[in-house]
Amino acid sequence: MSINLDTSKQNLLELKDEYESRINKIEDHIQNPQDDLNEHWEDQAISYRQNDMRKNLMSEARQSLIYVENALSRIENGTYGECEVCGEPIEEQRLEALPYATLCMEHAE
C-alpha cells in the first residue's frame, strides 16, 4: 500500500479547518440569531426547530472533527491506514473517500 502520508495529513488538516469553521458558524448563529423572533408563535416554533437542526448539525460536525483529530494522531504514531480490527492495511480507495476511516472494507460492513 502506498499511502502518501503528507497528502493524507494535508487533506485531514483541511477537513479539520472546515469542521472547526462550521462549528463556529453554527455556534455563532445559535447564540446570535440573525433573524429576530417576532411575536407570532408560529415564527417562534420555526425558529426553535431551526435551532434544533443547527444543534444536530453542530453535533455531527463535532463528531467528525473528533474522527479527523484521531486520524491525525494515527499519522503521528504510525498507525494511520491500519484496520483497528485486523491490523491489515485499509484500502487506498476507502481512505481517499473517508480519510479518517479506521476499518478495512471487510470489517466496516
* Cβ atoms 80, 74 nearer than 8 A: yes
Domain membership of residue 97 (yes or no) is no
CA pair distance 10, 84, nearest whole angstrom: 22
Domain membership of residue 11 (yes or no) is yes
The pTM is what? 0.79
pLDDT, averaged per 10 consecutive residues of the chain (109 residues), comes to 85 96 90 61 66 90 97 96 95 94 94
* Cβ atoms 18, 10 nearer than 8 A: no
Domain membership of residue 56 (yes or no) is yes
pLDDT digit string (tens) for 15-37?
999 999 999 999 988 787 655 55
**Residue 39 structural domain:** 5-81
Domain membership of residue 107 (yes or no) is no
Domain membership of residue 106 (yes or no) is no
**What pLDDT is recorded for position 29?**
82
**What pLDDT is recorded for position 84?**
95
Domain membership of residue 100 (yes or no) is no
Give the position of cell 502518501: 4
Domain membership of residue 92 (yes or no) is no
3-class DSSP state for residue 28?
Answer: helix
Q: Number of folded domains in the chain?
A: 1
Domain membership of residue 33 (yes or no) is yes
